[in-house]
Amino acid sequence: QAVVTQEPSLTVSPGGTVTLTCASSTGAVTSDHYPYWFQQKAGHAPRTLIYDTNNKQPWTPARFSGSLLGDKAALTLSGAQPEDEADYYCLLSYSGARPVFGGGTKLTVL
Amino acid sequence: QVQLVQSGAEVKKPGASVKVSCKGSGYSFSSYGITWVRQAPGQGLEWMGWISGNNDHPKYAQKFQGRVTMTTDTPTSTNYLELRSLRSDDTAVYFCARAGWPGDADIWGQGTLVTVSP
């Protein structure tokens, strides 16, 4: 099974910009991995922010965007707000194999 | 609105089985499948499997093969996750999510805490 790697933790200042990444042990992440991004606040269920690399859910704030950055999937937060402090997870799909979550990134807004 | 409501917390002894339910509303139930995800205390998300809205060919993570069964009851718009031969490391919150395909998830249930303890 592939291993999906995210930064364990990141810190961003209020109003600042931060990019979270999602790498695959099998090689470059492409649109064929259909990257998803989820936000999870403490004690709550995850919430889907981004699907298929860069598509937003109706409830996704405009300050979040998804992309491919080099050989990784990326989630960029532009203009961080205190309420963005949360854990963020990516999910990658693999042809002929089961989807795999990344280990998650704990984002602190400070 | 689209909603998934899961059953309440469970406490089980090692070796027992648990069955968690996930009832959908506000959408065409048979048009979507359900993905099951779990989260052990203080840990990340773990993909367990997916079942289509037609209740055919569920896809399980290799780790749970032989121990898990996912089913769909269309008349009641309810999905079920059964996990057998429970161990202490199965203690986790179990989430369902609406999913059109195995790598998808848009709407999530609130989660069900399953505690495995002697």
Question: Any idea what DSSP says for residue A84?
Answer: G
Identify the H or E element spanning B82.
Answer: strand B78-83
Residue A96: pLDDT band with limits 50, 70, 90: confident
Examine the pLDDT at A80 and tell me if it is beyond 90. Answer: yes
Q: Find, among A68, A74, A95, A96, the residue nearest to A10 by Cα.
A: A74
Contact B105 A48 (CB under 8 A): yes
For β-strands A105-109 and A86-94, DSSP reports them as antiparallel
Contact A38 B45 (CB under 8 A): yes
Give mean pLDDT, residues A45-55.
98
Residue B113 sits at the chain A interface (C-beta within 8 Å) = no
**Model pLDDT, residue B98:** 97
Contact A51 B47 (CB under 8 A): no
Mutation test of the interface with chain A: which of B65, B104, B112, B113, choosing the one with the most A Cβ atoms within 10 A?
A: B104
Q: How far is A103 from chain B (nearest CA, A)?
A: 6
Contact A91 B47 (CB under 8 A): yes
Q: How many CB pairs under 8 A join A and B?
A: 58
By CA distance, what is A94's nearest residue in B? B103
Q: What is the pLDDT of residues B5-59, one digit of tens each?
A: 999 999 999 999 999 999 999 999 999 999 999 999 999 999 999 999 887 789 9
Chain A partners of B47 at a C-beta cutoff of 8 Å? Answer: 91, 98-101
Examine the pLDDT at A48 and tell me if it is beyond 90. Answer: yes
**Model pLDDT, residue B81:** 98
Cβ–Cβ under 8 Å, residues B66 and B83 = no
Q: How far is A104 from chain B (nearest CA, A)?
A: 6
Strand pairing partners for B40?
none
Q: What percent of chain B has pLDDT over 70?
A: 100
By CA distance, what is A8's nearest residue in B? B44
**Model pLDDT, residue B102:** 93
**Model pLDDT, residue B54:** 81
**Model pLDDT, residue A1:** 87
**Model pLDDT, residue B57:** 80
Three-state secondary-structure class, residue A100: strand
